[in-house]
């Protein structure tokens, strides 16, 4: 297979390459240290110790004191499903009627599609929060829209498609005042920010490893101290203190902890690097390509995230042209980019179809170079010129 040029990879919001140091930490648990953490013998207890060491690293990273408040999952998507299903069924079990889910229209599909499924099945009713032109939720709207039968509020922390960061501490505070559980999908945000979750007012939060140079296929749920009667989504064994059944994926859990530990160690340097590359990218595209609009908030956005709408352009064709030139970019979430229709998030923030059909997400990372950015902008400029002439 032909080796690709990693400098031309501009889709870090979809996934990041595994850091060599993370891979080194994971390797022994694929081979010599292969035991099942639930086994009582030495092989199993060796693996169990690795899982608990990883847990302690993550507890320290997120400032959580109770180890039962961190639950390993197979992904952020599983975590979102677990949180929404569990909360909805708790209400259904107590009251025998559907509760209301208050969510934004710009949630990741792990939240949006789960909520729609639960509503279609008759287990909940969705109330949709308004967003401004940047895709942000106003905490005052949350306050106004919470009802006596609201069972959960869920608002994404850092938007995966347009990069906007929501005022999560303020929204969490409103929910706490109203006595309503609050969930945030922080998958993107935690890869570029440090959160004192243990001292926050967030009830539930989900994370993943692969946005932070860790392995794909592992994630976690973080629970606030006030969360009680948490319902598991996957049943079977009693792993994770009965909150999530299934044999632990030991090497991937070790890898996730290693990735966040490395983020801690090099945080300032990494974020400064990301911001410099992102800002250069935004500047060059804005200056060199006409009829171009930066989508999402201009400053309150993820440090590695640039997203644009190009007037009169079919982004699927544009993405294909750039791919032919060796550049990896995205038209939105990797979880839906194979769909031909629509960039709904751009419509939700008020763009007309002549703009919304031309959305492009370009995200940078540790292997991004200035030369690669200049080359990408030149290729983008030429491709758009060709498409607008055709």
- For the chain, give the secondary structure using H, E and C: CCCCCHHHECECCCCCCCCHHHHHHHHHHHCCCCCCCCCCCHHHHHHHHHHHHHHHHHHHHHCCCCHHHEEEECCHHHHHHHHHHHHHHHHHHHHCCCEEEEECCCCCHHHHHHHHHHHHCCCEEEEECCCCCCCCCCHHHHHHHCCCCEEEEECCCECCCCCEECCHHHHHHHHHHHCCCEEEECCCHHHCCCCCHHHCCCCEEEEECCCCCCCCCCEEEEECCCCCCCCCCCCCCCCHHHCCCCCCCHHHHHHHHHHHHHHHHCHHHHHHHHHHHHHHHHHHHHHHCCCEEECCCCCCECCCEEEEEECCCCHHHHHHHHHHCCCECECCCCCCCCCCCCCHHHHHCCCCHHHHCCEEEEECCCCCCHHHHHHHHHHHHHHHHHHHHC
Q: Are 158 and 167 in contact (CB under 8 A)?
A: no
Angle at which helices 370-389 and 315-324 pack, to 10 degrees?
130
What is the distance between the alpha carbons of residues 151 and 157, in angstroms, rounded to a whole number?
19
Torsion of CA 169, 170, 172, 174, to 10 degrees: 160
Beta bridge partners of 102: 127, 153
From 220, 181, 203, 202, select the one nearest 79 (Cα to Cα).
220
Catalytic option among 80, 124, 212, 335: 335
Instruction: Clarify whether 335 is annotated catalytic.
Output: yes
Active site residues: 335
């Amino acid at each position: 297979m032909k080796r690709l040029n990693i400098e031309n990879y501009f889709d870090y919001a979809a996934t990041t390459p595994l850091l060599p140091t993370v891979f080194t930490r994971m390797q022994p648990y694929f081979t010599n240290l292969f035991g099942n953490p639930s086994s009582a013998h030495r092989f199993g207890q060796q693996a169990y110790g690795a899982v608990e060491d990883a847990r302690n690293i993550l507890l320290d990273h997120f400032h959580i004191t109770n180890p039962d408040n961190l639950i390993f999952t197979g992904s952020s998507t599983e975590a979102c499903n677990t949180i929404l299903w569990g909360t909805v069924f708790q209400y259904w079990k107590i009251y025998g009627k559907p509760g209301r889910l208050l969510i934004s229209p710009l949630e990741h599909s792990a939240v949006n599609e789960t909520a729609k499924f639960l509503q279609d099945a008759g287990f909940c009713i969705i109330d949709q929060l308004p967003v401004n032109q940047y895709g942000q939720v106003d905490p005052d709207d949350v306050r106004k829209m919470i009802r006596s039968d609201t069972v959960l509020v869920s608002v994404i922390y850092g938007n995966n498609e347009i990069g906007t960061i929501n005022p999560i501490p303020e929204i969490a505070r409103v929910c706490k005042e109203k006595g309503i559980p609050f969930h945030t999908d922080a998958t993107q945000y935690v890869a570029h920010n440090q959160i004192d979750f243990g001292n926050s007012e967030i009830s539930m939060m989900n994370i993943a490893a692969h946005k932070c140079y860790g392995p794909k296929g592992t994630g976690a749920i973080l629970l606030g101290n006030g969360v009680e009667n948490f319902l598991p989504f996957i049943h079977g064994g009693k792993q994770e203190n009965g909150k999530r059944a299934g044999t632990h994926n030991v090497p991937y859990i070790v890898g996730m902890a290693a990735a966040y530990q490395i983020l801690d160690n090099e945080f300032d340097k990494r974020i400064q690097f990301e911001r410099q590359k992102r800002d250069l990218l935004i500047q060059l595209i804005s200056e060199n390509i006409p009829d171009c609009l930066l989508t999402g908030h201009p400053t309150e956005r993820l440090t590695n995230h640039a997203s644009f709408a190009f007037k009169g352009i079919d982004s699927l064709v544009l993405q294909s042209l750039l791919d032919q030139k060796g550049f990896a970019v995205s038209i939105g979430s990797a979880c839906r980019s194979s769909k031909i229709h629509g960039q709904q998030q751009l419509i939700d923030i008020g763009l007309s179809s002549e703009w919304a059909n031309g959305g492009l997400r370009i995200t940078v990372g540790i292997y991004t170079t200035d030369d690669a950015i200049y080359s990408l902008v030149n290729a983008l400029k030429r491709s758009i010129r060709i498409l607008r002439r055709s």
